[in-house]
Structure formats: C-alpha cells, structure tokens
C-alpha cells in the first residue's frame, strides 16, 4: 500500500529547505555591556540578599517578642510600633522567599538538569531571581549549566549580550577548571539559542527555520513525567502542537532500539526532532557541542539526525516498490495470487469529521485503537514501584475483551454448577485468586479490553446482514475490516452498490463505512453473524485491521521464525475462539495449540498432523459442496441470510503452524481452491514465503512487524507470546470446576474453602471504616468528600473493597475512566483517597501498596459483604459448627445484612467495571446459602414458619435460585396446609413462564402435591 509519512504540518519553504545535518551556531564574544549587566546583577543580589536583612536588623531589630506570648499580650494597645513590627515580619518573609528563589535558580544553573523547581507563591520573585542569576552567570563559566533558566527568560535577553569564551575557563587549574572549560565551551551555543528564541518570539527575521533542533526526553522527577504535550507547551508555546512532534518522529528508531508508535508512550533518553520554530535552552541544534551531554549521547543525537532523510526515503521507496509490485501483479501476476486483492487499503478519514484532540498518556479506550495502549515496558511509577503488564494483551482490545468475557462466563458456570450440585450448603464460594503471571495477565485483560468496541462491531455486522436480508440482497464478500477512530470500514472484494442505511459509501465503491454514532443506534437482531472469520492481525497508524480469513480464495501463508509464527497463530486462535461476532465457530489447530483448548473446548479442536487434517477436510469439503448445491446457494454468504441461517454454514478455520510437505501442500491447495465459497479458511505456516496455492502471503518479523508486500500491508502485529499464553490458559483452568484448582464441591469430601478476607465478627472487631455495599451504598466512619470527586472516590473504594487481594493502579484508572486518563490524574486521586481513608493508630495509611505495587486496604476498612462472608463461614465452619446457638445467631445476623442488590443506588453510567466481575453471581448464591442454612437450622426444631420466613428473605435477593424454591415447598408442606402449598406451586409455575419448571422441582411437586397440575387452574 502506498503511504508516505508527512514530516511537517506546513509546506516547506523552497527558499529555506530543511537541513537535517547539525550546523554549528555562530560564536559570540562578550561585550562591555555584558560585564556591566553582570556587575549590576551582582550588586542587586548583594543588596537584596545581604543589605535588606542587615537594614532590618540595624533599623528595626528583631520584630518578634523575646518570650512566649500570653493572654495579656492580646489586650495591649495597638501602636505605630505594632504596625512597624507586622510590616517588618512581612518583609522578612518576602526576603526569605526571594532567597529561596535565588538558591533554587543557582542550584538548577549549576546542576544543568531539569527545570528549576517552583517556589510556592513566588511567581514574580522567582522570575526576578532567575534573570539576576542568569545575567551574573551568563558571562561566567557556569552559564551553560543554566539551560533550563534560559529557556524561560530567553525572550528578555538583549541582542548585545555576549557569553564568555572558553579561553577564560582554560586558565582555571584543577578538576573544577576542566568543568568550567566544558561548560564555557557550550555557553556560546546556548546564548545563541536564547537570542534566536527571542527573535522568533518577537517576530524578527533572524529565526532560522531550516535549522533542525532536537530534544532529549528527561527522566522522571518525582511524580512528574515528561510528555509531548508539556514539551510542546514549553518549546512551541502551545501544548496542542504535540502532534507535530509526534509526526516528525513517528516510527523512527530510538537509541534503545524501540520506536515511537503512540504520542503518549515516550521514554527517558529518547530523542525528539522538533519543529523549526521550537525555542528554549533545553533544545540542542549541534550534537557535537551539546552542553552537559556525554559523548555517547552526542553520537546518538547525530545518528538520529541522519535517520530522518533515510527514514523518509525508505518509506517513499517502500511505497514506490509497493506500487510497482501492485502494478506488476495486476499486469501479470501469478495464478496463485488473487488479482482482486492486490492491496488492502487503509481507509481515509471521513470527510467533514473534525479531528479529535487526544490527550497524551491516556490508556486504551473504546474510541482509540489498542495500538495506543500503554506499553508494558514503561511500567508504572506509582507508589514507588516499577512494574508493568503484558504488552501483548494491553495492545489487543478485541482479543482481551473476548478472553475477559469468556473467563467471566467460565467462572459463573463454575459457581452455578457447584451451587446446583449442593444439597444444603456450598463450598468454594470464591474463585481462586490469580497470582504471579496469571494475576498480571488478568490485570492486562481488564486494562486493555474494549467490550464496548466488540459489542458495536457485532451489532454493526449483524445489523448490516438484517438490512440486506430485508432488501433481498446478498451479503457482499468482505476481505477486511478496519476500525479507525471508532468507525468501521468494510473493504469489499468488488463494488456491491450502495449500502443500506445507516451505512455509507467510503472513499470509493469498495468501501462501506459506518460511524460509531450510527453503530450505537443498532439494537440486537436475530440473525446469523455474517463475517465470523474476521480476526485482528495488527495496527497501521491509528487503525486496526481485521482480515476475513474465511473469504480468502485460497491459503493464507505466514512465514517467519517459529516462535514469532506461533505467537501470531495463538493470537488468531484465541480471538476466534472467544470473540463476540462469530456463531458456532470451529477452529482446528494442527500440530500446535493443544494447551489452548481450555479457552473454548466447544470451538477449538486439535489434530496431531497434516494427514489427519487432510482426511478430515476432504470429507467436510464434499459435505459442504453437496449441501450448497442442494440448497441452491452460490456460497455460504447467501445461505447466511436465508431461512436456514441458524442451522448451517457454520464457519470453519484451519490453523496449521508448521509448513506441510510438498505433496500435502498441493492437496491443501486443492482443498482451499473453493474454500471461500464453502466458509472454510486456511492459515498455514511456512519457512519461507513460497507455499504452493498461497493466495495471500504474509511475514512476521522479529521486530513484531506483519508484512504483506503484495497486499500493501505493514502492520504492528498482534501476537500472544508463549508466556502470555500460559498465563491466560492458567486463568481458565483455575476457573474450571472440574480442575484441581477450581472451587471445591460439597460432594468431594474436601474442606470448605475460607473466604479470601475474614473479619472479626465479635464486639471487639469493630472496624474503623465500614461500607454498606449490599443495598444502598453507605459509608460509616468517614466524612463525605467535597466536590465532584466524591463519586469517583466512592467508586474507587467500592472497587478496592471487592478486591481485597489488591488492585493494580492501571486497573483502577481504566475502571474509573474507561475513555482514558493521564497518570498524574490517577495518582492524584489515589492520594486523595489515601488522605480520605486516614491512618491506623500506628500511623500507617489505610490505603497502601503491596510488594507488586497493587493497592490494598487495611483490615480496619471493612464492607458488609466481608461481614456477610465471615458470618456464614464462622456459622458453618467455625464456632457455629459445634454450637447450635452460635450458628443460629450468626446466620440470622447475616441475613439481616442483606438489604437489596449490590450497590442498588449506583449512578447511571458509572460502575461499568461490574460487568467484568462475578459478584453479581456470587452474592445471590451466598444469600441463598445463608437462607438454606437458616432454614435447615429451624427445620431441625420443627419451626416451619421460621424456616419459611428465612427462605422468603433469601428469595428477595436470589429469586431464581431453584434450591430456595424447593426448600420453600418442603417447608410449606411441613405446615400441613395443602391450599398454601398449592399457592406456592402456582407462584412458582407463574414465575417459570414458558420455560416450565426444572425437572427436579417438578419431581418434588409430584411427590409433595400429586394433584398440583389439576389444581393450578382453580388457584389461578
């Protein structure tokens, strides 16, 4: 695909071409005026720093009382002396503040590192101190160390100021003299930069637009991290111009070997080329004379300056070669290459759509593709820890959303399966808490997942199929889908007319486009998924490519190293197995991926070798060919919009990681010749790019690039490396109720699992902070936070209370701000939350970070859900297990705590992270277990009414629990009132609706009330 990268936001001036070779700055000599200004600055500093306090001491004396004040002091008469003393104290404070400003500026000047710290409330004073210190040091040997200061007041420097030459520094003996010499050598360049900045700010003609300037990303200073926004604000005068810096440096290799791929992901030590009008002392125009920079860094800057023209040239050459390749293929390509798909084109932006400004340092959001997800290698610096998350999962929002949804369903299934198999109580209420790599993988899924994007993609595709069916039109063949800035672009194999509303034509007749706002208007429709073979392969710029493997007229080959190919194959398999836009998908893994089958046992199938695959696919190809002919369909696309859409034409994708032998490759090519018509896709690994029958050829490089020259693609590949594969599979196997790590069932004889967090339920165990989550959200023990942050802090506390094992700061940020937030905003909220929760009696904060950097709460911060779990555990397995009175009291207390559903009054639009939790399944089961245990407690003494009361209370929170209804029938039968039992049976049948009663409940009614069927009409 032809693509060139713009290197500037404005057209170049032909009379002033860009010069990427570092040019030396003109030298300047010191003048008499420079020495005069330096002398005056020295006198001013001496007067302000020494003269002012001396005059105060001499003329006024010490204004404060010599002894400690008493009440009589407040009753004394206010005199002129009193006013003078007050004024003197103010002057002393002003002098102290100015002195602090001078010290700060001198420290910054001597160190030459970073921007001078800001003295609180000293705007004008610090500016005056900066100018005086700069005027004094500019003619001295240490002026080069004052680069940060020059960047701030360079506009005020007059044109006749001359820096000191290096010769004066050479006369100073010793190590300090060598430092002065090195500093003085660079002072000339910095002074010239300051003059150029002043000239540019004043609109003068001295600014050299052709000079190339560079900036080196600074290391973090405390909680402050350098960002392109702040760099643009300091050196371009407008933070919104950070995009210009990003475009100049995008995809250019940095000194550490990585590349800038997203504006928010910059690392200390990276070098940024700056626009021509950039100004400020932190910039470097001549790497060979960069101040306070090591020889290694100078060489890096010089090397980086040379990559600009080469990078651009390479891109242009690559584009040209792609065009030539595409053209030559169209003229005379081989028969193994599909001529209709010579290029997969990146969709253009919608006309008339304003560009949305994006804030740097924001995590992946539904509006932004996952290529912008934060890199795991950058880690997080919150709480003094340096830890990261798996980058492969962070950068794959659709894959992460599919895995997260499938994991949630697996855990819910485990809970219900264990609950429905219980007789009286439940064990293993809490799924196993992930640790180590599995915990990191789960956090990465939570941060990187875009469930809203998956939902909109599914609704859009099914809505398109339904609209075409209403118009009696066949589905067009789609080769690729692009997700770009929230919009969906479908690339068709050939023009198919105008799309149905609200879809629109894209950049040409082969593009159908749907905006995100139009996609959000779609509702669920009862139709088959039209393009189940779409799978994410990677990103190009800000767009994510989904290739439709099912539509390829032949084999798709993937070459590269074995490990890199395996990472791509695993990503494809995992996404196809768990995505939300496919129906009844079958994925056959050949020669690899047996350990991936736990992700979706119903979708993933493993075969050992190519021979078994060929035998299987020959039979399936014959079957599908005959079924299509019998139904009168040309392809599966026409079948999916017909009356048999839900019963046939299920997609089948074959993933063969190892290259087949010559004969096997020929057989596969024959099978794949009409695979696209039959709804079968083949992705086959190859040692090289030459594979018989390969219609599309791709290559994965060691740098993570997915190349397809004939298709015009160069993507940042989506992969799932082996380490992340194992971690994700571990999450699923631990959630499997049939595995050894799953929840323990009541019939296996194992000890009941204790909750992850137990509280002291005695009178001595009163918590310092108590939050009611079951029902209306209330907090006892804390004042209500002021302002608009109250809702955020309440939500953050609820998330932490539901995860006593700890919450990763990035998970917290993605939960509270699904559309992204900067790290400083997140850290500020954590600090406010820490201050709000307060400290323990020993002074330790109640909100702390564990050794992995995850945020945890102290044991003195408790929720009613914690108490509920602890009471049930203590009643059934603790002290209540051997003491009937204690058991009854604890179970009764536990049931009283249930005031409604979890967070019943949560505001609309917030707490969206609850969709990823299983607490909505855990809480009803826990309440049902408590009700059943209390019912059993009362039934032991024949108190049927008390048992019914406990069951009705539990049914208020778990109305669909079959166990509660069955025990309610038994308890009502114990009252020996047939009419009352008949009424309960009628209520249960009415609640069941068209589904009917569960088999066990129906058998129980036959036993307790044989005439229940005939009596339902009379009761109704």
Residue 745 confidence class, pLDDT cut points 50, 70, 90? very low
Query: Between these two residues, 75 and 612, which has the higher pLDDT value?
Result: 612
8-state DSSP, 338: -
Q: What is the pLDDT of residue 130?
A: 78
In a 3-state reduction of DSSP, which class is residue 256?
coil
Report whether 920 contacts 914 (CB < 8 A).
yes
DSSP 829-884: HHHHHHHHH-B-TTS-BSEEE-TTS-EEE-TTEEEHHHHHHHHHHHHHHSGGGS-H
pLDDT at residue 959 is higher than 90? no
Average pLDDT for the chain: 75
Residue 58: DSSP 8-state: I
Report how far apart, in Å, the C-alpha atoms of 409 and of each of 573, 665, 831, 852, 1018 are: 19, 39, 35, 28, 41
pLDDT at 722: 92
Q: Over the stretch 137-181, which tens digit does the pLDDT of each residue have?
A: 665 533 333 323 322 323 333 333 333 333 333 333 332 333 333
At 1002 the pLDDT is 87
Packing angle, helices 436-448 and 809-816, rounded to 10: 20
Length of the chain: 1020
Mean pLDDT of 283-312: 62
Q: If pLDDT is split at 50, 70 and 90, which confidence band does 425 have?
A: very low
Contacts for 880-884: CB closer than 8 Å, 24+ residues apart = 884/937
Q: State yes or no: pLDDT of 987 exceeds 60.
A: yes
Q: Which residues contact 754 (CB under 8 A, 6 or more apart)?
A: 873, 877
Give the count of beta carbons closer than 10 Å to the beta carbon of residue 126. 23
Q: What percent of the chain has pLDDT over 70?
A: 72
Strands 543-548 and 534-540: antiparallel
- Of the ranges 369-383, 642-656, 859-873, which is most confident? 859-873
> In DSSP terms, which residues pair with 697 in a beta bridge?
557
pLDDT-based confidence at residue 936 (cuts at 50, 70, 90) = very high
Condensed to tens digits (0 to 9), the pLDDT of residues 255-280 reads 877 788 766 568 788 888 888 888 87
Q: Minimum mean pLDDT among 216-225, 277-286, 513-522, 565-574: which range?
A: 216-225
pLDDT above 50: residue 475:
yes
Helix (H) or strand (E) holding 675: helix 675-678
Burial 144-178 (b: 16+ CB within 10 A, else e): bbbbbbbbbbbeebeeebbbbbbeebeeeeeeeee
Predicted confidence at residue 967, as pLDDT, reads 92
Contacts of 968 (CB under 8 A, 6+ apart): 948, 951, 952, 955, 984
Higher pLDDT, 424 or 275: 275
Rounded distance, CA 214 to CA 768, Å?
54
On whether the CB atoms of residues 922 and 753 are closer than 8 A, the answer is no
- The predicted model scores a pTM of 0.63
Asked which of 364-378, 612-626, 676-690, 745-759 is least confident by mean pLDDT, the reply is 364-378
| Selected residue with higher pLDDT from 249 and 994 | 249
pLDDT given for residue 158 in this prediction: 34
Dihedral over Cα of 224, 230, 234, 235: its sign: positive
**Which tens digits make up the pLDDT trace of 93-138?**
888 888 888 888 787 666 554 456 677 777 777 778 877 877 776 6
H or E element that contains 572: helix 562-578
Q: Do residues 149 and 105 touch, judged by C-beta distance below 8 A?
A: yes
Q: What confidence tier does 861 reach under pLDDT thresholds 50, 70, 90?
A: very high
Structure tokens at 483: 């997700």
Q: What is the pLDDT of residues 695-736, one digit of tens each?
A: 888 999 999 999 987 787 889 999 999 999 999 999 999 887
pLDDT band at residue 670, thresholds of 50, 70 and 90? confident
Residues 123, 152 contacting (CB under 8 angstroms): no
**Do 467 and 522 contact (CB within 8 A), yes or no?**
no
CA-angle at 814, arms to 865 and 810, nearest 5°: 90
In angstroms, the CA 311 to CA 660 distance is 38
Interatomic CA distance for residues 308 and 582, integer angstroms? 44
* Radius of gyration (C-alpha) of the chain in whole angstroms: 36
pLDDT at residue 931, as a whole number: 93
Q: How many angstroms separate the CA atoms of 401 and 63, rounded?
A: 68
């Amino acid at each position: 695909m032809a693509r060139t990268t713009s290197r500037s936001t404005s057209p170049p001036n032909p009379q002033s071409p860009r010069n990427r070779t570092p040019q030396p700055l003109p030298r300047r000599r010191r003048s008499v005026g420079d020495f005069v200004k330096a002398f005056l600055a020295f006198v001013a500093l001496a007067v302000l720093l020494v003269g002012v306090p001396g005059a105060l001491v001499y003329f006024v004396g010490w204004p404060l009382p010599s002894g400690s004040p008493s009440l009589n002091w407040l009753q004394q008469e206010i005199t002129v002396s009193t006013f003078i003393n007050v004024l003197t104290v103010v002057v002393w404070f002003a002098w102290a503040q100015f002195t602090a400003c001078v010290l700060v500026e001198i420290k910054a000047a001597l160190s030459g590192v970073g921007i001078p710290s800001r003295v609180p409330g000293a705007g004008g004073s610090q500016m005056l101190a900066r100018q005086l210190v700069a005027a004094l040091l500019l003619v001295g040997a240490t002026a080069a160390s004052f680069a940060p200061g020059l960047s701030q007041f360079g506009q005020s420097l007059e044109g006749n100021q001359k820096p000191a030459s290096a010769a004066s520094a050479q006369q100073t003996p010793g190590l300090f003299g060598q430092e002065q010499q090195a500093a003085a050598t660079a002072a000339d360049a910095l002074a010239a930069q300051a003059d150029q900045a002043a000239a540019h700010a004043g609109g003068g003609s001295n600014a050299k637009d052709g000079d190339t300037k560079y900036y080196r990303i600074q290391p973090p200073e405390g909680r402050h991290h350098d960002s392109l926004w702040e760099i643009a604000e300091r050196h371009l005068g407008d933070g919104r111009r950070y995009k210009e810096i990003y475009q100049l440096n995008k995809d250019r290799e940095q000194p550490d070997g990585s590349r800038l791929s997203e504006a928010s992901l910059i690392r200390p030590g990276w070098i940024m080329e700056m626009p021509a009008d950039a100004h400020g002392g932190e910039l470097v125009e001549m790497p060979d004379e960069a101040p306070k920079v090591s020889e290694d860094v100078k060489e890096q800057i010089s090397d980086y300056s040379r990559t600009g023209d080469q990078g651009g040239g390479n891109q242009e050459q690559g584009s040209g070669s792609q065009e030539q390749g595409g053209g030559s293929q169209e003229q005379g390509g081989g028969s193994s290459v599909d001529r209709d798909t010579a290029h997969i084109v990146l969709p253009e932006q919608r006309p008339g759509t304003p560009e949305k400004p994006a804030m740097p340092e924001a995590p992946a959001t539904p509006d932004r593709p996952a290529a912008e997800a934060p890199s795991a290698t950058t880690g997080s610096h919150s709480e003094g820890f340096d830890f990261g998350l798996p980058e492969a999962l962070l950068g794959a929002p659709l894959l992460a959303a599919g895995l997260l949804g499938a994991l949630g369903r697996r855990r819910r299934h485990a809970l219900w399966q264990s609950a429905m198999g219980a007789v009286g109580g439940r064990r293993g209420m809490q799924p196993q808490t992930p640790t180590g790599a599995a915990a990191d993988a789960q956090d990465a899924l939570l941060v990187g997942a875009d469930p809203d994007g998956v939902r909109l993609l599914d609704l859009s595709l099914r809505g398109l199929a339904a609209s075409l069916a209403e118009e009696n039109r066949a589905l067009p063949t789609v080769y690729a889908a692009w997700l770009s800035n929230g919009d969906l672009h479908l690339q068709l194999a050939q023009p198919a007319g105008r799309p149905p509303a609200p879809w629109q034509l894209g950049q040409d007749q082969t593009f159908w486009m749907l905006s995100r706002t139009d996609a959000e208007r779609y509702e669920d429709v009862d139709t088959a998924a039209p393009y189940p073979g779409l799978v994410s392969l990677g990103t190009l710029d800000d767009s994510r490519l989904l290739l439709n493997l099912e539509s390829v007229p032949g084999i798709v080959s993937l070459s590269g190293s074995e490990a890199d190919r395996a990472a791509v194959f695993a990503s494809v398999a995992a996404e196809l197995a768990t995505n939300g836009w496919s129906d009844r998908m079958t994925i056959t893994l050949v020669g690899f991926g047996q350990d991936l089958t736990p992700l979706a046992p119903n979708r993933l199938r493993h075969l050992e070798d190519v021979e078994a695959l060929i035998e299987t696919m020959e039979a399936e190809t014959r079957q599908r060919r005959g079924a299509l002919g019998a139904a009168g369909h040309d392809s599966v696309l026409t079948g999916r919009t017909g009356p048999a859409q839900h019963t046939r034409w299920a997609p089948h994708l074959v993933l063969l990681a190892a290259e087949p032998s010559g004969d096997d490759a020929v057989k596969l090519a024959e099978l794949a010749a009409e695979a696209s018509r039959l709804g079968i896709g083949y992705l086959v690994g190859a040692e090289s790019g030459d594979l018989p029958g390969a219609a599309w050829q791709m290559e994965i490089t060691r740098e993570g690039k997915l190349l397809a020259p004939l298709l015009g693609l160069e993507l940042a590949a989506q992969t799932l490396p082996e380490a992340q594969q194992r971690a994700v599979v571990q999450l699923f196997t631990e959630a499997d109720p049939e595995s050894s790590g799953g929840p323990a069932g009541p019939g296996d004889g194992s000890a009941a699992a204790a909750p992850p967090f137990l509280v002291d339920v005695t009178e001595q165990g009163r918590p310092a902070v108590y939050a009611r989550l079951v029902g209306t959200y209330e907090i006892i023990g804390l004042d209500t936070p002021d302002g608009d942050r109250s809702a955020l802090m309440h939500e953050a506390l609820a998330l932490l209370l539901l995860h006593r094992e700890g919450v990763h700061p990035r998970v917290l940020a993605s939960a509270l701000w699904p559309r992204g937030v900067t790290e400083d905003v997140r850290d500020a909220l954590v600090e406010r939350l820490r201050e709000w929760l307060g400290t323990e009696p020993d002074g330790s904060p109640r909100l702390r970070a564990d050794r992995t950097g995850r945020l945890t709460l102290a044991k003195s911060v408790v929720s009613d859900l914690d108490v509920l779990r602890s009471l049930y555990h203590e009643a059934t397995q603790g002290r209540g297990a051997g003491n009937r009175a204690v058991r009854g009291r604890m179970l009764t207390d536990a049931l009283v705590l249930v005031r409604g559903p979890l967070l019943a009054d949560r505001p609309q639009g917030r707490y969206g992270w609850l969709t990823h939790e299983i607490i909505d399944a855990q809480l009803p089961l826990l309440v049902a277990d408590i009700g059943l245990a209390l019912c059993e407690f009362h039934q032991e003494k024949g108190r049927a009414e008390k048992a019914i009361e406990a069951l009705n209370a539990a049914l208020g929170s778990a109305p669909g629990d079959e166990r509660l209804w069955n025990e309610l029938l038994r308890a009502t039968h114990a009252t020996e009132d047939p009419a009352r039992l008949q009424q309960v049976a009628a209520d249960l049948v009415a609640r069941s609706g068209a589904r009917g009663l569960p088999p066990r409940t129906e058998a129980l009614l036959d036993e307790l009330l044989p005439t229940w069927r005939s009596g339902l009409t009379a009761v109704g």
